[in-house]
Amino acid sequence: HSRLPQELTTVRVQDPRVHNEGSWNSYVDYKIFLHTNSKAFTAKTSCVRRRYREFAWLRRQLQKNAGLVPVPELPGKSAFFVGSTDEFIERRRQGLQQFLER
């Protein structure tokens, strides 16, 4: 009886970039890197850039289909925060990564 290798998926949220800095329509996007050995995925690695609002969209879709399964929270969207913009972006990056890991 042979043991099947454990399926692993690693996801990282990294490299936040501010676009249109200083203007009313500035936003941040994040690089999402996925690596897996799962047979369910054709591509074993993928890399895309996504904005916070796309995470919010994903969470809404998951909620529609989750039934009684709790969907993880996203980090807050507050435009008013204490500390520097860099600190806020880093806290949000960490929160987005935790969301995807869950």
Give the C-alpha separation, 63 to 99, whole Å.
13
Give the C-alpha separation, 55 to 72, whole Å.
11
State the amino acid at position 5 in one-letter form. P
pLDDT in tens, the chain (102 residues): 566 678 889 999 999 999 988 888 888 999 999 999 988 888 999 999 999 999 999 999 999 988 888 899 999 766 555 567 888 899 999 999 999 998
Q: Helices 85-101 and 52-65: crossing angle, nearest 10°?
A: 30
pLDDT given at position 83: 63
Q: Is residue 94 part of a domain?
A: yes
Q: Is residue 43 part of a domain?
A: yes
CA distances from 9 to 19, 65, 96, 98 (A): 29, 22, 16, 14
pLDDT given at position 53: 94
The residue segments making up the domain with residue 21 are 9-101
Q: Is residue 3 part of a domain?
A: no
pLDDT given at position 76: 79
Tell me the CATH number at 69: 3.30.1520.10
Q: Is residue 68 part of a domain?
A: yes
Q: Are 34 and 9 in contact (CB under 8 A)?
A: yes
| Sheet order of strands, 27-36 included | 9-19, 27-36, 45-51
Q: In total, how many domains does the chain have?
A: 1
pLDDT given at position 11: 93
